[in-house]
Structure 1
Amino acid sequence: MEEALVKLNVAGASIAVVKDGQVIHQKGYGVASITTKEKVTEYTNFQIASNTKAFTAAALAILVDEGKITWDDKVKDYIPEFKMYNDYVTDNFNIVDLLTHRSGLGLGAGDLTFIPDGADFTVKDLFGIFQHFKPVSSFRTKYNYDNLLYIIAGEIIARVSKMSYEEFIQKRIFNPLQMNSSFVGDSNIQDAKNVAAPHSAATGELKKIDRFAIGMIGPAGGIYSNVADMSKWMLTQLNKGRYGDDLKSLLFSSASSGKMWTIQTVLPNYISERYNTQFNGYGLGWVLNDMRGHLTAMHTGGLPGMLSQVMLVPDMKLGIVVLTNTENGGGGLAFAITRAILDSYFGLDDAEWIDNRARNLSRNIGATDAVTKEVWAQVDSLSGIKYNRQNLMGMYNDKWFGQMEIYEKNGELRIRSLRSPKLNGRMFFYDKNTFAVKWDYQDMNCDAFVIFDYSKRGKAQSFKMKGISPSIDFSFDFQDLDLKRID
């Protein structure tokens, strides 16, 4: 862990390993914040991001076990306002579909409603948002990772249980498992002690960035937890829902455990001679595959400056969780440490995973830098070009994302979203009908192109967008926007 922090330029991380029903290692490394220098401990809370999805699946499993819902129940029976991109999909979309990334929508469709944080979209906005997207595959045929449908799943939990999602997770999962320091969302952040600060190393220099505000995305990625609490969660999962000293208490049934660990959506199999992997797919909140003949259930999580990984090997009674607080290298650290520990249990040779991830990180940063530097170099070379700003300025509207304005301020051409205030930046001429946007928000690498469509008179009538960097986070789904002039 200490070697990985240095080689992958990560501020801090924590890890827990459980084996045969016992916690065998649980410790923090590095610092929770480079400004305060506070040390990471096993009780330091991190945003676990998409590792929240397994909790949402477990919450639904609890309701299934109690007979309050079934996995095959239609979403519209609980949320009549719910509407997909055609009537057949709307009528047949069930609870399992919410959790399995097989909706037919594209990767991260609609994620701009919550990333960057600070937008004013609510859960109610999501009920009708999906009708405005064009499917990229047939319903239930292909995997495309989705966040918004997990938020809908959280709404079903709230409507059936008559309590908020946050309250349900607290009362029905955290309290029974004595995950006493864990919580969902931002409301408890002021009372929480020892919370890791997010960092970025995108420029090569480690810097502290603002904490991502959870807002409406609790069921998709809103939990704060630490490895001491996550050990209890992993042990419960490995015991198929049973917990407590005598394992007589039941969080969810063995049948529900089996359902969550059954592949629902097939993923492309990746060739792994090292692990003899034969299958790969997604269950309910878990990625499922095999390594050296063992079923594994795992998930990663990522928010700005926060990366995590949970790995379970049920028949070995083995669980590993790694939480980190640094963009770029944090995901590589979680992967490298998890693989190194797995390899030791599998009896494999040392693959030098830390050096492997460090090389990958350097290569990826280099490739990204090359592309973005070329774009901004071209922008600089054309800084003197003349164009009619008035033909671009005005208000534009997208059916699901709302209005964006192109305007002039202090002699600069700028663009801003009326619903997502952090999407506000300066526009630079790039090529013909294309401009490059440098957002004021720079905690993530998300600068974008704006591509105009002009009328015969030369006035912009609409524009589309796409990310500049090849490694832009998929949640910046600029490509799904279709903005039409409204004034």
Structure 2
Amino acid sequence: MYFSRALFPALICAIAATAQDAQQPLSLDNVSPILTPHLDAAILDILKKFKTPGGVGVAVVRKTAQGTWQVETKGYGNATADGAQVTADTLFAIGSNSKLFDILATGLLISNETLTPRISWTSKIASIIPGWKLMDTVATRESTLIDIMSHRTGLPRHDFMTPLDVSAADMIPRLQHVRPSTGFREQTQYNNHMYTVLSYLPTVLLNTSYEQYVRDNILTPLGMEATTYFYADAVKTGKLADGFLREGANLTQDPFATGTVRALPFWDRSPKGHVISGAGGVISSANDMAIWLQMLLTGGKSRSNETVIPAAVINKVATGVSVFTPVAAYPELSPVVYGGGQFRGTYRGVGFKSQVTRFPSKDLGIAVLTNEEDWGNMIMEAISQSVPPPFITRPKNAEAPAVPYAALAGTYEHRAYGKLDFCLFWEDRTAGSACAGLAPHVEKLLPGVIDPAVPTLISRWDTMVSNYMRLTHYSGNVFNLTALYGYDPSEGWVLKVEGLQAEFEVKGEDIGFAMIGVWGEGAGVEAPTGDTVEERAEVWFQK
């Protein structure tokens, strides 16, 4: 987190200062460069100071006094684990900057006069998508395109419910089974699933995939030929960067800690796109992002001056709808507002981060793409305000749960989050139907995650951020919940998202458990209340 919060501002400020300080030339032959040797050295020095194992791709565009566009792109640092260098053609996952592609594609559909019936920004989702339903009946009935693009449906993030093997069409029906944390339009809460809903519109309205629609109507007309949503296409070029992680580095205590550098497998290898394509699926290069910046700054025009995105659409999505930071941190800054797909640029794409910044009044745009990840940033940012203090050490006098530990093993289900099949590991015993496939291999698959002295439940849990869930007993019916990602068993390391909680409740023969600290509510949103564990659950799994 420290890396992204400090590196991106440092780079953006350095580049912007260079661009603004450069004198405007009297002739086109004397255009002052922006990415100068001095700035090159400064960027490399920043990477060195942060001890980053990866690198950055940088794109800068600036309108000259003569009305032409100055475009500069470069790469710095390592693209891959074997030391290949970043160039302007290196491909990075750009994460949540993908949302702007999604919302501009929606704007193109709204501008399409051949659609019957026409849609608008205020069209209700229920009138467009058959079977649209949320748990909140008001949100189901009243949600418009503006509501879902600006994160005000009442749903918190619920990022842990996102599997890797479903389509947008599969995901949308699940939304009716996840609990909102506020009423409709009461609070702004960042939510990736609503951008999955937007990405489904080309399929509903034109019977074409989202990825193909963006290719045909945005990428190809702009000449962004290197940009793709597909891992297979990116890896074939030989230009896809590795995503890096510093395992074991506590960046809170030491922002320059190196830990053990790991190259992560690309997060989405599905051949036909993914449920998260609209929210975070774009793979691009500095060269292509320069084209993107120029289009945004020219009101939707291509380099040949043809309109690709209507200017009205560009202006609409840049208009603040939701307020994320009502009071600026400093007098020189403004409140932070969100329109469609833009208000901030950092996001994880497991191993990658990006930031795209525009200064419209200066006709200046800067994109910075990097391949280092502070693991769990997306999840931990979302839950940091709501998670109870993690139970670091189990009490010596820990109370037993209401039923024997073995009774807690077995299959649990939530209609949106899916099924969990827990195997109990305790001392030299195991219990549960999942144990046959898991127990013989657990030390290889998840080395070092089980303490035989502590009753531990483990289930397969395939999501964007995990492939296993671990519940370790704390006291009574309360367990610590950890999302585990076993990347490479041959190297003996596992990534962990910790600080979450599970609490079981037994009612006669019925057993269930609450997940707490996982739904990623907006700032200031209170935790659920109720007389029972189920009523207080953010997510409830029933056995």
Q: Do Structure 1 and Structure 2 share a fold, with TM-score over 0.5? A: yes
- How far off is 1:55 after superposition? 0.5
Q: 2:146 is aligned with what amino acid?
A: V
Q: 1:65 is aligned with what amino acid?
A: S
Give the structure 2 partner of residue 398 of structure 1: 414
Structure 2: which 5+ runs fail to align? 1-42, 250-258, 431-455, 487-493, 521-535
Q: 1:113 is aligned with what amino acid?
A: M
- How far off is 1:124 after superposition? 2.7
Give the structure 2 partner of residue 43 of structure 1: 89
TM-score by length of 1: 0.77
* Identity fraction in percent: 24
Q: 2:421 is aligned with what amino acid?
A: E
Asked if 1:271 is matched to 2:309, the reply is: no
Query: In structure 2, how many angstroms separate the alpha carbons of the residues matched to 1:420 and 1:146?
Result: 16
Query: In structure 1, how many angstroms separate the alpha carbons of the residues matched to 2:48 and 2:327?
Result: 30
Asked if 1:227 is matched to 2:283, the reply is: no
Instruction: Tell me if the contact between 1:121 and 1:419 (Cα under 8 Å) persists in the aligned partners.
Output: no
Q: 1:265 is aligned with what amino acid?
A: S
Query: In structure 2, how many angstroms separate the alpha carbons of the residues matched to 1:186 and 1:24?
Result: 27
Query: In structure 2, how many angstroms separate the alpha carbons of the residues matched to 1:479 and 1:223?
Result: 34
What is the CA deviation profile of residues 303-326 of structure 1, one whole-angstrom value per residue up to 9, with x for unaligned ones? Answer: 211111111111111111111111
Asked if 1:200 is matched to 2:245, the reply is: yes
Q: 1:285 is aligned with what amino acid?
A: G
Give the structure 1 partner of residue 477 of structure 2: 433
- How far off is 1:113 after superposition? 3.0
User: Residue 416 of structure 1: which of 459, 474, 478 is its match?
Assistant: 459
Query: In structure 2, how many angstroms separate the alpha carbons of the residues matched to 1:304 and 1:401?
Result: 20
Q: 1:12 is aligned with what amino acid?
A: G
Give runs of aligned pairs for residues 376-395 of structure 1, distance below 5 A.
376=392, 378-379=393-394, 382=396, 388-395=404-411
Q: 1:382 to 1:40 in 2, by over 3 A?
A: farther
Give runs of aligned pairs for residues 152-163 of structure 1, distance below 5 A.
152-163=197-208
Asked if 1:254 is matched to 2:311, the reply is: yes
Q: 1:209 to 1:386 in 2, by over 3 A?
A: same
Q: 1:99 is aligned with what amino acid?
A: M
Alignment partner of 1:189: what SS? helix
Instruction: Tell me if the contact between 1:382 and 1:430 (Cα under 8 Å) persists in the aligned partners.
Output: no
- How far off is 1:300 after superposition? 2.6
- How far off is 1:262 after superposition? 0.9
Q: 1:425 to 1:269 in 2, by over 3 A?
A: closer
Give the structure 1 partner of residue 48 of structure 2: 6
What is the CA deviation profile of residues 110-156 of structure 1, one whole-angstrom value per residue up to 9, with x for unaligned ones? Answer: x2232xx64x4432333222222333223223210010111111111
User: Residue 212 of structure 1: which of 267, 282, 298 is its match?
Assistant: 267
Query: In structure 2, how many angstroms separate the alpha carbons of the residues matched to 1:199 and 1:312?
Result: 27
Query: In structure 2, how many angstroms separate the alpha carbons of the residues matched to 1:58 and 1:444?
Result: 35
Q: 1:30 is aligned with what amino acid?
A: G
Q: 1:50 is aligned with what amino acid?
A: S
Instruction: Tell me if the contact between 2:459 and 2:469 (Cα under 8 Å) persists in the aligned partners.
Output: yes
Instruction: Tell me if the contact between 1:403 and 1:419 (Cα under 8 Å) persists in the aligned partners.
Output: no
Asked if 1:446 is matched to 2:497, the reply is: yes
Give the structure 1 partner of residue 255 of structure 2: none
Structure 1: which 5+ runs fail to align? 288-297, 332-363, 471-477
Larger radius of gyration: 2
- How far off is 1:105 after superposition? 1.2
Query: In structure 2, how many angstroms separate the alpha carbons of the residues matched to 1:9 and 1:411?
Result: 44
TM-score by length of 2: 0.70
Give the structure 2 partner of residue 93 of structure 1: 143
Give the structure 2 partner of residue 286 of structure 1: 342
What is the CA deviation profile of residues 54-96 of structure 1, one whole-angstrom value per residue up to 9, with x for unaligned ones? Answer: 0111111222222233222222222111112233322222222
Asked if 1:105 is matched to 2:155, the reply is: yes
Instruction: Tell me if the contact between 1:32 and 1:325 (Cα under 8 Å) persists in the aligned partners.
Output: yes
Q: 2:316 is aligned with what amino acid?
A: K
Query: In structure 2, how many angstroms separate the alpha carbons of the residues matched to 1:479 and 1:25?
Result: 51
Query: In structure 1, how many angstroms separate the alpha carbons of the residues matched to 2:303 and 2:461?
Result: 50
Give the structure 2 partner of residue 299 of structure 1: 345
Instruction: Tell me if the contact between 1:425 and 1:439 (Cα under 8 Å) persists in the aligned partners.
Output: yes
Asked if 1:79 is matched to 2:123, the reply is: no
Give runs of aligned pairs for residues 158-177 of structure 1, distance below 5 A.
158-177=203-222
Give runs of aligned pairs for residues 361-372 of structure 1, distance below 5 A.
none
Alignment partner of 2:234: what SS? coil
Instruction: Tell me if the contact between 2:400 and 2:476 (Cα under 8 Å) persists in the aligned partners.
Output: no
- How far off is 1:180 after superposition? 1.3
Q: 1:460 to 1:250 in 2, by over 3 A?
A: same
- How far off is 1:463 after superposition? 0.9
Q: 1:236 to 1:263 in 2, by over 3 A?
A: same
What is the CA deviation profile of residues 200-236 of structure 1, one whole-angstrom value per residue up to 9, with x for unaligned ones? Answer: 1242222112211163110111010011100000110
Q: 1:125 to 1:164 in 2, by over 3 A?
A: closer
Q: 1:60 to 1:251 in 2, by over 3 A?
A: same
| RMSD of equivalent CA atoms | 3.1
Query: In structure 1, how many angstroms separate the alpha carbons of the residues matched to 2:400 and 2:155?
Result: 40
Give the structure 2 partner of residue 318 of structure 1: 364
State the aligned residue count: 417
Alignment partner of 1:184: what SS? coil
Q: 1:271 to 1:94 in 2, by over 3 A?
A: closer
Query: In structure 2, how many angstroms separate the alpha carbons of the residues matched to 1:185 and 1:62?
Result: 22
